Amino acid sequence: MTVEQPLRILICSTPVGPLGSGVGGGVELTLHSLTLGLTELGHHVEVVAPAGSLHVGERLHQIDGNLQQSSQGAGRHAPIDIPTASVLANMWDFVRGHQHRFDVVLNLAYDWLPLYVAPFLRVPVAHLISMGSLTDAMDEAILGVHSIAPESIAVHSRAQADTFDGLADVRVLGSGISLERYDLQRTAARPAALGYVGRISPEKGIEDVAAVSARTGLPIRVWGLMQDRDYWNRIVAAHPSAELVYEGFLATDDLQAALGSCRGLLMTPKWVEAFGNVAIEALATGVPVIAYRRGGPAEIVADGTTGFLVEPDDVDGLVRAVDRLDGIDRATCREYVEEHYSAVAFARRAVLWLDAVVEARAPIDAI
């Protein structure tokens, strides 16, 4: 297999929810971008995902079964937990049965099972790890595969890699979006509003977004899956002078149109965000990003050019950055994404990786 040859790729989605549900967070967009980008480059892509998924790619295989619980907030010592009639197990049964039709399987699930079974399959498996270190059990699975097949693991950002003890040399892929789906809005709407996009969940640090609203008097338009309503209610109660306007979970077309009218996007995560797809989505619509200098967003935002990086947990710093938003050129934000984070650029990085995974696995097959 040479780099020039088209690959037959099976992409395995996350088992936490169907594509389009939002439960899979950034993984859903990553899968979409990779599928479009790889197809545009001439590769054959099929997708396997939980039943009820929105259609993507040439062929989507919908798999029944009970969904996996998301692992954010599970706690460091959480055991591996797989339900009966597991969709995750059923998806990997599908992989086993169809592996002969593919050159490589691209696993997007942050789950123990695919990491464990990969070495038993004949087809090489490439694991794109979507979150930083969360549990000892997942660390063991990821580092275990990395120790026997280092090339088969990749991550989204350097900061994400650094959360693991032993992935210093791992491949960093970034991410990407299909730019045709995002329109540049050259000016922000009036009256001005800031935006927050993401799951409503404690690791996202939405309390700091609320504090910015209270301090600046600017409303915050909020889009994302309501994963933790108690958390949301606590924030609203704790910041009575903040204006948080929850507008629901939108499909990408509607999200990008609404988001593009904002003066800026706030990203104040309390965890190490592995990448932060919403940062490149905002920039693609011309919206500058104000983010903590923590995790993936710190590697995306060019401080002073496409937004501002603020010391983690410094709300005063966020407020000062909001005051400087007028100094950011919105067209420059868009150009930055076109240069670094298009779906095709992302897919090219992925192909180099997948080729390396296939090459590395070849001698094992020959034994």
Binding positions for ligand UDP, rule: CB under 6 A: 22, 25-26, 29, 197-199, 223-224, 249-250, 252, 255, 275-278, 281
Looking at beta carbons only, is 156 or 361 nearer to ligand UDP?
156
Looking at beta carbons only, is 152 or 277 nearer to ligand UDP?
277
Name which of 159, 155, 135 is nearest 291 in CA terms.
159
Closest distance between ligand UDP and the C-beta of residue 199, in Å?
5
Cis status, amide bond into 191, omega within 30 of 0: yes
Which residues, listed in sequence order, are joined to residue 128 by a DSSP beta bridge?
A: 154
Instruction: State the Cα–Cα distance between residues 331 and 185, nearest whole angstrom.
Output: 8
Looking at beta carbons only, is 102 or 275 nearer to ligand UDP?
275
Instruction: State the Cα–Cα distance between residues 72 and 74, nearest whole angstrom.
Output: 6
Closest distance between ligand UDP and the C-beta of residue 367, in Å?
38
Closest distance between ligand UDP and the C-beta of residue 362, in Å?
33
Phi, psi (deg, nearest 5) at residue 154: -140, 160
Looking at beta carbons only, is 117 or 250 nearer to ligand UDP?
250
Looking at beta carbons only, is 43 or 199 nearer to ligand UDP?
199
Token pair belonging to 79: 């055991």
> What angle do the packed helices 277-284 and 330-340 form, to 10 degrees?
130
Instruction: State the Cα–Cα distance between residues 301 and 283, nearest whole angstrom.
Output: 9
Cβ-based neighbours of 304, under 8 Å, separated by 6 or more: 327
Categorise residue 53: left if φ over 0, alpha if ψ from -120 to 50, beta otherwise. Answer: beta
DSSP state of 326: G
Closest distance between ligand UDP and the C-beta of residue 19, in Å?
11
Closest distance between ligand UDP and the C-beta of residue 281, in Å?
5
Closest distance between ligand UDP and the C-beta of residue 252, in Å?
6
Looking at beta carbons only, is 26 or 37 nearer to ligand UDP?
26
